[in-house]
Structure 1
Amino acid sequence: MKKTKEETNETISQLKEIARKHFTEHGYAAAVLDEIVKEADLTRGAVYHHFGSKKGLFLAVLESVQREVALKVEAEAGQSEDVWDQLILGCHAFVSTAVEPRNKRIMLIDGPAVLGWEAWRSMDEQGSMRLLHEQLQLMQQQGYFQSVSIDALTHILSGALNESSLWIAQMPNVTESVEDTMNIISQLLERYRS
């Protein structure tokens, strides 16, 4: 019996959510595809049909994680009308969301290791870095960062946020570490504020 598009989408969503749980708990290397499909009450064939491989399934999960983080960044930044506050709120949302247990291993650790640095970086550029670049460009058009290359600032700030997230994820007091990071990020940005 042929599945409807809605049933197919439901199967794909279910596989991704169960896989996300396994990748989070065990990491990509130790996650067992047979256990994922068993929990989903499916066969390995379903994974190969929809994702091509375990790596393809991981890629789909990582894309979902990155979309969720981007939505959180946009939602938090959107709580203010002031572009400076939007930037700070967005940076804060990124680091605090990236280090959530549900996200950090997939997005920050296994993502670059499984996909390779260039592929992971390309995904980052299309997601969080794109949002950051757009915000910084808007700010420059409004008179901020006049003497600064927005491309360079985007890469430097994105790198700082990613590296800080990795550091924060290992700290015993995540809340305090996020605040320490944001104090430094704010001071860094203030130096270039026009």
Structure 2
Amino acid sequence: MQDKKERRTNRERSDTTRAELMAAARRLFIEKGYADTATPDIVAAAGLTRGALYHHFEDKKALFCAVAEAEAEAVAAETERAVSDGMRPREALIKGGDAYLSALALPGRTRLLLLDGPSVLGRTGMDEIDNRHGTRSLRGGILFAVRAGDLPQNLPIEEATQLLASAYDRAALSIETGGDPDEYRRALALLIDGLAALA
């Protein structure tokens, strides 16, 4: 019994250390950017040692990858919470898209996920993260809408997912630099309605 309790305590301590490193890294990646953030800065901000960092992460890139994964997961969760079971597929796509833009409005998220993410991890690496989270949700929403007859039956699912995801990402970047969120939401809803009109 005592050994199990001790192991659990060690695991909890390890999880706390990892979370502290990720939180410090997130702050610095947002404030300074990936390239200008050094690992000594991260461990100093976390109040930990370099040994603790390298125990949990192979290098700075691996730490950035973990931060980006956590951010993408949080965005997908916020997006999915905005969609309820009773919604028509078209409405769910629009509500989910609106929630995505709201989630990306959290300070630093567009930099982490849409600017530094592809730069640091490469387009393929960032796509892998997206496919586990936001893109997966969007693909599911589009497929649901096609099966329900709200979108054309011959719509290429993968290509439509990539194009619509790109439109939402571009909108998020524009909103970040002062674009009107309501106008971007309206334009994106019209894009979806344009597809729906072909069904």
Gaps of 5+ in 2: 1-5
| 8 Å contact from structure 1 (residues 69, 97) kept in 2 | yes
Matches within 5 A, 1:30-41: 30-41=36-47
The count of residues paired between Structure 1 and Structure 2 equals 190
Deviations 1:138-171 (A, max 9, x none): 1111111124222221111011111221222111
State percent identity of aligned pairs. 31
Structure 1: which 4+ aligned runs deviate by more than 4 Å? none
Q: Does residue 166 of structure 1 match 2:173?
A: yes
Following the alignment from structure 1 to structure 2, what is the Cα–Cα distance between the partners of residues 73 and 150? 19
Gaps of 5+ in 1: none
Query: How far off is 1:92 after superposition?
Result: 0.9
| 8 Å contact from structure 2 (residues 101, 168) kept in 1 | yes
| 8 Å contact from structure 1 (residues 92, 182) kept in 2 | yes
Q: Does residue 77 of structure 1 match 2:83?
A: yes
| 8 Å contact from structure 2 (residues 89, 150) kept in 1 | no
Deviations 1:21-65 (A, max 9, x none): 111111111123212212222111111110110111111100110
For 1:163, the aligned partner's letter is: R
Following the alignment from structure 2 to structure 1, what is the Cα–Cα distance between the partners of residues 187 and 154? 21
Following the alignment from structure 2 to structure 1, what is the Cα–Cα distance between the partners of residues 161 and 40? 41
Aligned-residue Cα RMSD (Å) equals: 1.9
Following the alignment from structure 1 to structure 2, what is the Cα–Cα distance between the partners of residues 79 and 10? 35
2:12 maps to what in 1?
6
From 176, 182, 193, the counterpart of 1:190: 193
Matches within 5 A, 1:51-130: 51-78=57-84, 81-130=87-136
Following the alignment from structure 1 to structure 2, what is the Cα–Cα distance between the partners of residues 100 and 27? 16
1:152 maps to what in 2?
159
Which range moved further: 60-69 or 137-146? 137-146
Alpha-carbon spacing, 1:101–1:141, altered in 2? closer, same or farther (3 Å)? same
Bigger-Rg structure (1/2)? 2
1:142 maps to what in 2?
148
